[in-house]
A = this chain, B = another copy of it.
Amino acid sequence: MAVTMKDLAKYAGVGVATVSSYFNGGRLRPANREKIERAIRELHFEVNEVARGLRVDHTKTVGVIIPELDNQFCAQIITSMEDELRQYGYATIVCDCRTRPEREREAVDFLRRKRVDGIINMPVDGTGGHLKVFTDTERPVVVIDRELPEIECDQILVDNQSAVRKAIGLLLENGHKDIGLLGGPENVATARERLLGYRGALEEAGLPFRPELTEHTDYTISGSREKMEAFYARVPDMTALLALNYETTAGALMYLNEKGIRIPEQLSFIGFDNRDFAQAARPRLTIVEQPTSEIGLQAARRMLARLSRKEEAFRIIKLQARLLMGGSVRALNE
């Protein structure tokens, strides 16, 4: 059915090895090159990547494992990643593990059996043990967003401490001292880092850390909404609130809106992630914006680099978040 390299070689009147060499950038006599090119045009030949893959043992495919696709943060990262990878001929196989470690482990195994050339992973399992079966095959792994100290590989992270410090810094500048923090679960590494940033910023400013001013959530909208109730009742004197991810931002906003607590008059507010949301809210939210596209791009670049030249030491890259100014922070001083 399909025209093969052998057909092409016969049609062009050259050996099959010559044709192969043509496609792999070898040196050719101009006459032969011309003959082959004409044959390709006339036969509409296309090399069979599967056959090539069998021979050279790579599939030009990379696997991506994420906690949940249905999450703008992940989706944005994958968008830029896929774009870059495809530009270099690599296909992106996504696996959504629904934030479940056992499904993450299954995904690694699935991708290994699919013989992907590499895996990019936003890990759920903080030990990284799930990646062992893959790294054993000598293939590269790039970890994104959540640091995996026990795994030797490239990692593209966000400087979460600094991100939070920027937000707290803005609040401090505006005279806030009693700053509430709506944080994440204690077992999520990035949530811990952000909490650390909060404590660090306060300490630097010579302010005491008041434990009752921080609340942990499960990082879901409804969960955050629930927690806010008791939280705000407990410390009514807080003048500002920082939510540590998209879900807590939405959940907090939900509660504040319901109760008619006005932003920023009664409470200054800084959110995290999700530009749409921040722009549509009233007033426009001041938010910490993570460099999602940049994460995806860098991860793809790192993967491509590993795939072409093996050597080179592993890199851990920390990207900076930035503060997007809205109208949800009130100046207490002046």
* Chain A residues near B (Cβ < 8 Å): 46, 48-51, 53-54, 59-61, 68-72, 75-76, 78-79, 82-83, 86, 91-96, 110-111, 113-115, 221-222, 250-251, 253-254, 257-258, 276-277, 279-282
- Least CB distance, A3 to chain B, in whole angstroms: 13
Give, as a whole number of angstroms, the nearest-CB distance from A257 to chain B. Answer: 3
Q: Which residues does chain B contribute within 8 Å of A95, judged by CB atoms?
A: 82, 86
- Among B70, B86, B251, the residue within 8 A (CB) of A110 is B86
Residues of B within 8 A of A115 (CB): 48-50
Bound together, the chains give a CA A56 to CA B110 distance in angstroms of: 20
- A96's contact among B48, B61, B79, B258, by CB below 8 Å, is which? B79
**CA separation between A83 and B91, bound complex, in Å?**
18
Is the beta-carbon distance between A276 and B258 smaller than 8 angstroms? no
- Partner of A221 from the list B51, B54, B61, B276 (CB cut-off 8 Å) is B276
Q: How far apart sit A157 and B96, CA to CA, in the bound complex (Å)? A: 24
Q: How far apart are A82's CB and chain B's nearest CB, in angstroms?
A: 6
Task: Show 25 residue pairs from A and B whose CB-CB distance is below 8 angstroms, ordered by the A residue.
Answer: A46-B113, A48-B54, A50-B50, A50-B115, A54-B54, A60-B114, A68-B79, A69-B69, A69-B75, A69-B78, A70-B76, A71-B75, A78-B94, A79-B96, A82-B96, A91-B111, A92-B94, A94-B94, A221-B276, A250-B279, A254-B280, A254-B282, A257-B281, A258-B282, A277-B280
Q: Please, how many angstroms separate the alpha-carbon atoms of A110 and B92 in the complex?
A: 12
What is the CB-to-nearest-CB distance from A240 to chain B, in angstroms, rounded to a whole number?
Answer: 20
User: In the docked arrangement, what's the CA distance between A69 and B68, Å?
Assistant: 12
Contact among B70, B82, B251 for A72, CB-based, below 8 A:
B70
CA A258 to CA B326, docked complex, whole Å? 13
The answer for the CA separation of A96 and B233 in the assembled complex, in Å, is 45
Task: Tell me the smallest distance from the CB of A263 to a CB of chain B, in Å.
Answer: 11
Inter-chain CA distance A69–B70, complex, in Å, is 9
A54 to B250, CA, bound (A): 49
Option from B61, B79, B96, B250 in Cβ contact (under 8 Å) with A83: B96
Could you tell me the distance between the alpha carbons of A223 and B83 in the complex, rounded to whole angstroms?
25
